[in-house]
Structure formats: structure tokens, C-alpha cells
Amino acid sequence: MNIGEIAKRAGVSRSTVSYVLSGKRPVSDGTRQKIQRVIDELGYQPNASARALANGRTNTIGLVFPPAGNHYTGMQLDFIGNVVEAAAAQDYDVLLSPSGMDSDRSFQRLLGERRVDGAILMELRLQDDRFDHLNSVGLPSVAIGRTAHPENGWWVGLDHTALAEACVHHLADLGHRTIAFVNRPEQLLRAGYESAHRGLEGFTKAAAERGVTSRTYCCGDDASSGQACLERILHDEPATTALVTLNEAALGGLYRGLAKAGRHVPRDFSVTGVVASRWAETVTPQLTAADVPAEQMGRLAVDLLVERLDHPDAPARHHLLAPPISLRASTGPASTGPASTG
């Protein structure tokens, strides 16, 4: 069934049916009702491909995220869910593209075949060549995260620098003098992941400011890497009494490592970092952390993109978020006595 069929049954032309559908030109009440009745009766819905071909808009946005090779973290998955929700609320569908590298077939399809009106980029790198590709084909995009030069971009980001700083200050205020930093995997750091770089930068800066002894580690995105990383931390510097982590997937392993080392959280050892709240609340004791506002960020990203699609010449906009640290149960005063273990 197509628009011609509707037109025939309603005794009007196809264009009139089209205008009833789009509302782009006035249609008399009588005709409109007649047509609407036929549409409802037959449950007609216009074909998306034909519509996209004719008017150049797909009403679909692309969500570009890295392939599972590196494992999905809970945070990434949270973003996906929330972007899809927010897009649905604006009557946009979301096409997923699991592409980190610009050479990826799926990414190429999205861009080159014009399957989407615009794209949301996740897992940003400081120098992100995906922007060049998007710009070169004229596809509007919004990033979740920001590059090294975010001045004129469209993005919604988390101020990882400030967040990591806040974590250090929180721990230093509690009297901790030796603090470790658990970052994302080295491979991602080397690839230029902005959260890893900016977080590290903030941690290092604040540690220097407060004169605390610090070491930084890269850690795989899974529990067993977290456990191994913690063993390394205590081996390298047994006097360590606290850590800051950006690595949500490793969190359970970090806790396990502490338990095995006989360090009680928060009595002997404090843990904090940047983690989505729902994961922070899963561990025991619940994690004192800067909660990643995945829902808000997903919504903002979609809103920005839709705005950009509706107003191609609108000036670039962005949102830099720096949520406060939610005090839960994983941090406490540095223990005065020696927290020795075997």
C-alpha cells in the first residue's frame, strides 16, 4: 500500500495526501478528514526510504562507538541506552556503528551512503580523525567528549581534569599522603583517549599541588586486570592508602585486590574516582565518586544534534559538565597506624 492507493480511495491527488501527512500546506477540513479516515482505516504509513530519497532526510542519527574488541564498559553502554531513549523522544531512530577506526566499513556506510542525517561520536580522542571524515562529507555531528581543541565544536563533555582534581583534593583533605591513579588501558591512553589524558593530567596536577606522593597506572577494562593492578600498587608502594580510578570495569577487581591484601575499605584504604552512579552503588562499600551523568549527557547530545540539524547555521554550542563527588562509603580518614599486611 502506498500514497497513491490512499489518494485513489480518498478521491484526491497524491500531493494532497502528502500535504495532509506533512502539514506543509493548508488542506480544507473536509478533505483532510476524508483522507485521514482512509489512512487510519488502512493503517497506512509512508515508506521511509522513499521519503528519505525525496526530501533528503532520513530522520535517523548515527551513534558511532568503538568495537567490542576493547570490551564495552558499563558507562559506554549507559550512553548508548540513553542516547536511544532521547532520540526516540524526538522521533529519531538511532543507527549503531561499531567503528573506532575511520577505515571501518560500518562507519563508511553511515557516512558515504547517507544513512543518517547526523552522528553522535563516543569515546573521543584528543585528535579525532573521525571529525575530518564527517566534515568532509558534510555530516553534522556532536561529540560526547571533546578534542584537544574544542573551541568551535559541538559537544557535551565531562571535565575529567576537574573531576580527577576533586578526587585528589577529597583524599588529601582526609589526610592521605600516598595516592595511586588507576587509568584506562595503556592502549587507549596511547590512542589519545581524552578522558584518560585529561583525568591523568588533573590527577597529576592536583597531586603536585597538594604535595602527595603519587603513582599512576594503566589497567585493563576488566575485573582481573583490576585485581592485578592493585597488587602492583601495593607492591610498588605499600604505604599507599588511597586510589583514584577512571576505570569502572576494573573496580570490582580493585576491591577484590584490597580485600585479599587485608586492606579494609574505607578504614585502611580509600577508593574514589569517576564512575556512573549505578555501578558505584553496586559495589560494597558503595563508591564515593563523581557520578557520570550518562542520562543527562545522552539527552544533551541528542538535543544539540537535533538543534544543529534543524538550524544548519546555528553557532556551535557545547556543555561541559563537572558533577560533584557523591559521598558514599568508600573513603575515610587516612589510617594513622601502619596498615600492614602480609
Partner DNA sequence: TTGAAAGCGTTACCAA
Partner DNA sequence: TTGGTAACGCTTTCAA
**Binding positions for a second copy, rule: CB under 8 A:** 43, 45-53, 58, 60, 67-68, 71-72, 74, 77-78, 80-82, 84-85, 88, 91, 93-98, 105-106, 108-110, 112-115, 222-224, 251-253, 255-256, 259, 278, 281-284, 286
Q: Are 276 and 248 in contact, with CB atoms under 8 Å apart?
A: yes
Residue 11 binding: pick among DNA, a second copy, none (C-beta 5-8 Å cut-off by kind): DNA
Q: Which is nearer to DNA, 105 or 149 (CB)?
A: 105
- Per CB under 7 A, the list member of 37, 39, 55, 166 interacting with DNA is 55
Tracing cell 583524599 back to the chain, one arrives at 171
Which of left, alpha, beta for 135 (phi over 0: left; psi -120 to 50: alpha)?
alpha
Residues 6+ apart with CB under 8 A from 317: 154, 304, 307
Distance CA 256, CA 262 (A): 10
Which stretch in 52-60, 70-78, 214-222, 265-273 sits in contact with DNA by CB under 7 A?
Answer: 52-60
Which stretch in 29-37, 152-160, 198-206, 319-327 sits in contact with DNA by CB under 7 A?
Answer: 29-37
Which stretch in 47-55, 85-93, 170-178, 225-233 sits in contact with DNA by CB under 7 A?
Answer: 47-55
Size of the site for DNA (CB under 7 A): 29
What is the 3-class SS of 238-296, one letter each residue?
CCCCEEEECCHHHHHHHHHHHHHCCCCCCCCCEEEEEEEHHHHCCCCCCCEEEEECHHH
Residue 27 binding: pick among a second copy, DNA, none (C-beta 5-8 Å cut-off by kind): DNA
Q: Does 28 bind DNA (CB under 7 A)?
A: yes
Distance CA 153, CA 315 (A): 9
Q: Which is nearer to a second copy, 67 or 192 (CB)?
A: 67
Q: Are 39 and 72 in contact, with CB atoms under 8 Å apart?
A: no
Q: Does 33 bind DNA (CB under 7 A)?
A: no
- Least Å from the CB of residue 52 to a second copy: 4
- Least Å from the CB of residue 45 to DNA: 7
- Least Å from the CB of residue 161 to a second copy: 28
Q: Does 341 bind DNA (CB under 7 A)?
A: no
Our CA angle for 65, 70, 71, nearest 5°, is 85
- Per CB under 7 A, the list member of 8, 33, 42, 50 interacting with DNA is 50
Q: Does 46 bind DNA (CB under 7 A)?
A: yes
Residue 302, number of CB atoms within 10 A of its CB:
27
- Count of residues making up the chain: 342
Q: Are 181 and 243 in contact, with CB atoms under 8 Å apart?
A: yes
Alpha carbon distances (Å) from 172 to 137, 210, 211, 254, 326: 49, 7, 9, 20, 16
Q: Which is nearer to DNA, 13 or 127 (CB)?
A: 13
- Least Å from the CB of residue 264 to a second copy: 12
What is the 3-class SS of 183-251, one letter each residue?
ECCHHHHHHCEHHHHHHHHHHHHHHHHCCCEEEEEECCCCHHHHHHHHHHHHHHCCCCCEEEECCHHHH
Q: Does 27 bind DNA (CB under 7 A)?
A: yes
Q: Does 54 bind DNA (CB under 7 A)?
A: yes
Distance CA 222, CA 219 (A): 8
- Per CB under 7 A, the list member of 33, 41, 53, 208 interacting with DNA is 53
Residues 3-22 that bind DNA (CB under 7 A): 3-4, 11-16, 18-19, 21-22
Q: Which is nearer to DNA, 114 or 215 (CB)?
A: 114
- Least Å from the CB of residue 175 to a second copy: 26
Alpha carbon distances (Å) from 337 to 258, 263, 267: 17, 13, 11
Q: Beta 93-98 vs 60-65: how paired, if at all?
A: parallel
What residue ranges bind DNA (CB under 7 A)? 2-4, 11-16, 18-19, 21-22, 24-28, 30-32, 44, 46-47, 50-51, 53-55
